[in-house]
Amino acid sequence: MNEIKFGPSGADERFYELGYTASYQMPLYVQSLGLDCFEYSFGKGVRMSSETAQKIKTAFQEKNIEISVHAPYFINFSNPEREKIVNSFNYLSSSMDAVIAMGGQRVVFHPGSPLKLERQVAYRNMLDNIQEFVSTVLSDEKYQGVFVCPETMGKLNQMGTPEEIADVCALSQKLLPCVDFGHINARYQGILKTMDDYKKIIDILATKCSDMQIKNMHVHFSKIEYSPKGEIKHLTFEDKVFGPEFEPLAKVIIDNGLTPYIVSESAGTQGKDALYMKTVYNSLK
């Protein structure tokens, strides 16, 4: 930590056009772009052999590229059913086991959805269940070097406003906010335009998060199409309609001495757009 990093989430179109096919080849590709990190998605479940994990770990360490993972999308800490909460514990802990096996430190997860619950009830469930996870699982010595990152979400009916993520991260220093600025922009109908707009989001998080958590926050960035209900789909940086733009955020990061881990989630151009963000950041330093 304490060093800003830029990289893609998942394999983009260019990765396959160049003839790459396997995850252990990703660090070579990321390095060739001049980038620093990569996010591996377990969105549909954690299924990886120990041999594959070791091969990925060796490849990433050889190229000095940092790897993080995204936990399965099935996680919902707001669910009122105990069986489903136990499942969420298992999805997240298995993702943590996987990131250790792959040589990484960070696991991103979606905090939950109210389903048919009143939002305040869902919010209370989410906090109570994540607190239990922190106390009974994340506190285990084998996870000493792991950080889990609850993500701000893009649809109105999802848990994960900046205020809610701040409350979650206040539970433990082992929780780093995953600030998805594309999600926030979509959720609130295009609010991110100026440096002040971005700073307001960071200030909300800082009301409950420590300086360490803010300085080393996890960032997802992409342009996202939205409707009155929030996020519809991820776009590329070619989009000129929905936004948001990265330049104001880069200035806020520099002015405040932040060193986030920044992941591009563009639709098919993740590597190209991550490199654009790194280039902008370096040009403004």
Q: Domain containing 196 — which CATH number?
A: 3.20.20.150
Total length of the chain: 285
Sequence-distant (6+) residues with CB within 8 A of 134 are 171, 172, 174, 175
The pLDDT value recorded for residue 2 is 81
List, for the chain, all residue ranges whose pLDDT scores fall below the cut of 50: none
C-beta contacts of 130-139 below 8 A and 24+ residues apart: 130/77, 130/168, 130/171, 130/175, 131/171, 133/77, 133/88, 133/89, 133/92, 134/171, 134/172, 134/174, 134/175, 137/89, 137/92, 137/93, 138/96, 138/172, 138/174
Task: Provide φ and ψ at 5, rounded to 5°.
Answer: -135, 150
192, 185 Cβ separation under 8 angstroms: yes
Count helices and strands in the chain by DSSP H and E runs: 11, 10
pLDDT, tens digit (0-9, with 9 covering 90-100), for 229-277 = 999 999 999 999 999 999 999 999 999 999 999 999 999 999 999 999 9
Residue 49, pLDDT score? 95
- When divided into structural domains, the chain yields a total of 1
Residue 1 confidence (pLDDT): 77
Give me the phi and psi of 58, to 5 degrees please.
Answer: -60, -45
Note down the domain range covering 244: 5-284
